[in-house]
Copies of this chain bind each other. A is one copy, B any other.
Amino acid sequence: MSLLNLEKSELDELAAQVRKDYEALKAEGLDLDLTRGKPSKAQLDLSNDLLVLPGRGHYTDAAGNDLRNYGNQKGIKELRDLWGKLTNMDPELLVAADSSSLNIMYDLILWAYTFGTNSSEKPWSKEETIKWICPTPGYDRHFAITESFGFELISVPMEEDGPDIEAVEELAKDPQVKGMWVVPMFSNPSGAVISEEKTRRLAAMETGAPDFRIVWDNAYAVHTLTEDFPEILPILDIAAEEGNPDRFWAMSSSSKITFAGSGVSFFGSSEDNLEWYLEHAGIRGIGPNKINQLAHYEFFGSAEGVRAVMRRHAALLAPKFESVLRILDKNLTHHEIADWTHPKGGYFISLNVMEGTATRVWELARDAGILLTQAGSAFPYGEDAKDHNIRLAPSLPPQEEVEAAMDGVATCVLLAALEKLGA
């Protein structure tokens, strides 16, 4: 029965039981970590062939270039071709870079800040105020980047089919609003997938700033938890069709496909945007690690090869997600104090607990040896106005630890709610 309908005496009775459960939980002396979206050892093992790739005697691309030497800022062609096919992008508009797309996003914004984009009248640093739209809950590392430049971060709700588009359209009219973050597929942390309708509206909307940019971080483009792969919208085509070809800076990477942190990242954008990017990248360095790019090409073989790897990831991840959902459902649904997302892909489940208790849940869990992502971390400045959101990251720990942790988390959610209700 819903906690909210209980009499005071019933609440107290339940609280006594839950406090006992919590003490028992603490006594278990757990040491569990659900904080970050890291792949597990079993997932990493799927890519162990990379440890001996590209392989003895393999160091040229299809065109015969020696990849051991300097050069080729854009990355090797066969890998760009493969990735273009996988992500529905013209490979000519795709740069293959080093391991992390976060690096590219940071550089893009820093260069826009310091030098101005190819569509800017002046460097963003010369603007009095820069505002940035942040769909929330969202990715803490995104917010950290724009916060580090002193941008004013404006939250808009992330809905099941993408950001609240009316709110975005309204905000974008302000010339001080220079851009926004979007994770279009299996979004961090809710798992939302943006609809084509919202995508087209983002591409078509009028913006006050002529150099408005959407960082389209397709970090989970193929990170399904099922056998199915949703269509990846051809974002650069859509941008061009809607008359704003320079609007999107699109990223993806192999970070959670092969080895986290030693993969390959990709940046797709319009010809003009790429020219601007490559001009600065060409001052910053001589080119990406092409040997690692070749290794990845050899490892995948084709776009279908990438999907084959992702199905094996799904086979490892899906049971953990199912456990989380089953345990939340069993322990919390009937109390009606929390809800959570049911993602079909990605790395997270977004758990909304009773308002005003997320920080307390985090503390209770920590004291019981279960480390959760800090409450509020999915919001700009780490501030969740409702103090109700917790990001669950079940990928890293083994199945039994996920289950033990979630049993404990459910107890903490319930206890915090009871405390809040004065029980």
What residues make up the interface of A, taking CB atoms closer than 8 Å to B? Answer: 36, 38-39, 41, 44, 47-48, 50-59, 66-71, 98-100, 102-103, 106-107, 110, 113-114, 125, 141, 144-145, 148-149, 259-262, 280, 283-292
A-B contacts, 16 listed (Cβ < 8 Å): A38-B69, A44-B69, A48-B59, A51-B56, A67-B262, A68-B259, A68-B261, A69-B260, A99-B289, A103-B284, A106-B283, A114-B149, A145-B284, A148-B283, A261-B286, A261-B287
In the assembled complex, which residues on chain B have CB atoms less than 8 Å from the CB atom of A145? 283-284
Determine if A286 and B102 form an interchain contact, defined as CB atoms under 8 angstroms apart: yes
In the assembled complex, which residues on chain B have CB atoms less than 8 Å from the CB atom of A102? 284-286
Contacting residue for A261 out of B51, B71, B106, CB 8 A: B71
A52-B55, A114-B125 given as contacts; is B260 within 8 A of A68 (CB)? yes
Q: Which residue of B lies closest to A150 (CB)?
A: B115
A48-B56, A54-B51 given as contacts; is B110 within 8 A of A38 (CB)? no
Q: In the complex, A284 Cα to B149 Cα: how many Å?
A: 12
In the assembled complex, which residues on chain B have CB atoms less than 8 Å from the CB atom of A59? 44, 48, 51
Q: In the complex, A98 Cα to B98 Cα: how many Å?
A: 9
Copies of chain A in the complex: 2
Sort A-B residue pairs by CB-CB distance and give the 5 closest, nearest first. A68-B259, A262-B289, A262-B291, A106-B284, A44-B68
Q: In the complex, A41 Cα to B55 Cα: how many Å?
A: 17
Q: Which residue of B lies closest to A145 (CB)?
A: B283
Minimum CB–CB distance for A256 against chain B, Å: 10
Q: In the complex, A50 Cα to B290 Cα: how many Å?
A: 13
Q: Which residue of B lies closest to A39 (CB)?
A: B69
Q: In the complex, A67 Cα to B103 Cα: how many Å?
A: 19
A55-B52, A57-B51, A110-B114 given as contacts; is B144 within 8 A of A262 (CB)? no
Q: In the complex, A288 Cα to B100 Cα: how many Å?
A: 9
Q: In the complex, A149 Cα to B111 Cα: how many Å?
A: 11
Q: In the complex, A139 Cα to B286 Cα: how many Å?
A: 14
Specify which of A36, A99, A125 lies most central, judged by the most chain B CB atoms within 10 Å of its CB: A99
Q: In the complex, A149 Cα to B113 Cα: how many Å?
A: 13
Q: In the complex, A285 Cα to B41 Cα: how many Å?
A: 22
Q: In the complex, A287 Cα to B149 Cα: how many Å?
A: 20
In the assembled complex, which residues on chain B have CB atoms less than 8 Å from the CB atom of A292? 262, 289, 292
Q: In the complex, A110 Cα to B108 Cα: how many Å?
A: 13
In the assembled complex, which residues on chain B have CB atoms less than 8 Å from the CB atom of A39? 69
Determine if A44 and B70 form an interchain contact, defined as CB atoms under 8 angstroms apart: no
In the assembled complex, which residues on chain B have CB atoms less than 8 Å from the CB atom of A99? 98, 285, 288-289
Determine if B114 and A261 form an interchain contact, defined as CB atoms under 8 angstroms apart: no
Q: Which residue of B lies closest to A41 (CB)?
A: B66
Determine if A36 and B70 form an interchain contact, defined as CB atoms under 8 angstroms apart: yes
Q: In the complex, A50 Cα to B261 Cα: how many Å?
A: 19
